[in-house]
Copies of this chain bind each other. A is one copy, B any other.
Amino acid sequence: MQQLPTTTLVVTGEAIRQYAELTQDFNPLHLDSAFAATTRMGSVIAHGTMSISLILQSLAKAFGAEAVVNVDLDIRFIKPVRVDETLTAGGERESGDARRYAVWVRGVEGEDRLVGVATLGPAALG
């Protein structure tokens, strides 16, 4: 497969708060507007693993449920995600290796939020 199917998610403030509870990740950068205003971020941002989740969803759409089990991820966060942003994840196969995909999560204007490489485990391609 040359292109991964895309996956989209709207990251609401309520989702960020629930995500913090579930993962017990109460980093104030995700939850405390007053704190976030004192940082380089300026306002609260979403947990980065929410974006990584979209990559795994695109891989599962492409290669089946078990493709997420043994994948290697090499991820670089490019630009933080703000409340109520719509994210889209996807990826393209790298030339020369059927198991390697250049993956990305982008905002509505197409700007990268994270980029990376996902390498499928040996079983994923059957």
How many subunits of this chain does the assembly comprise?
Answer: 2
Please give, as numbers and ranges, the residues of chain B lying within 8 Å of A45 by CB-CB distance. Answer: 69
Q: Are B72 and A75 in contact (CB under 8 A)?
A: yes
Q: How many residues of A contact B (CB 8 A)?
A: 41
Please give, as numbers and ranges, the residues of chain B lying within 8 Å of A72 by CB-CB distance. Answer: 74-77
Question: In the complex, what's the smallest C-beta–C-beta distance from A25 to chain B, in angstroms?
Answer: 5
Which of A34-42, A90-98, A100-108 makes up part of the contact surface? Answer: A34-42
Q: Are B69 and A50 in contact (CB under 8 A)?
A: no
User: Residues on A close to B: CB < 8 A?
Assistant: 7, 9, 15, 18-19, 22-25, 27-29, 35, 39-41, 45, 47-50, 52-54, 56-57, 60, 65-66, 68-77, 80, 123
